[in-house]
Amino acid sequence: MPLPIAHSAAGIDGYLVFKKRNLDSPLKQELFLLGLCLFLANLPDLDFIPGFLCGEPGRFHHGPSHSLVVGLLGSLIFYRFASYWLTGISRKRILGCCLVSLLSHPILDYFSADTSKPFGVPLFWPFDTEY
Ligand SMILES: [Zn+2]
C-alpha cells in the first residue's frame, strides 16, 4: 500500500497535468482545486475510519472504495460540486483533475505490494469481486 505521500503526489500530478491550459484563473480557486485533488487522491483510504471505530483498522480497508467504478462515480459527484463553486476554471479541467486524482488511488494500490488480507484491491468491483 503506498503511503499517503505517494497518493498526494498523484493528486498533485492530477492538478498539474491540466494546469498549462488555464493560467489566468483566480488564485483562491486554484488552491481549492489543488486541495480537492489532494483530498480525492487520498479519499479511498478513508475506509480505515470505520475499522478504527471497531478497533480493527484494516477490517474494511481495500473494499469497494478502491474500485474504478466507485472512483469514477465519486469523481463525477465531486466534479459536479466543484464546477458549481469554481466558476473561474474550465469544467473540462475540473473534470480531468477529479478523474486523474481519484482514479490514481486504486491504480497505485493495485501496483503496490499488499501484505495483509485481502491481498490487492477489488479494481473492477461490482463486475468482478476478485482482489
Ligand atoms: Zn488505498
Q: What is the pLDDT along the chain (131 residues), one digit of tens a residue?
A: 678 899 999 999 999 998 865 567 788 999 999 999 999 999 999 988 888 898 887 788 888 899 999 999 999 999 999 999 999 899 999 999 999 999 999 999 999 887 777 788 888 888 888 88
Cell of 111: 501496483
Cell of 57: 483498522
Sign of CA dihedral 28, 34, 38, 43: positive
Q: 82 C-alpha vs ligand 1 centroid, how far in Å?
A: 23
Q: 80 C-alpha vs ligand 1 centroid, how far in Å?
A: 23
Q: 32 C-alpha vs ligand 1 centroid, how far in Å?
A: 23
- Give the pLDDT of residue 119: 80
Q: 102 C-alpha vs ligand 1 centroid, how far in Å?
A: 11
Q: 103 C-alpha vs ligand 1 centroid, how far in Å?
A: 11
Q: 81 C-alpha vs ligand 1 centroid, how far in Å?
A: 23
E-strand ranges in 1-131 read none
- Give the pLDDT of residue 92: 94
- Give the pLDDT of residue 125: 85
d(CA 24, CA 6): 29
Q: Choose among 98, 88, 87: nearest CA to 38.
A: 98
- Amino acid, res. 4: P
- Give the pLDDT of residue 59: 81
Looking at residue 119, the DSSP 8-state letter turns out to be P
Sign of CA dihedral 96, 98, 99, 101: positive
- Give the pLDDT of residue 95: 97
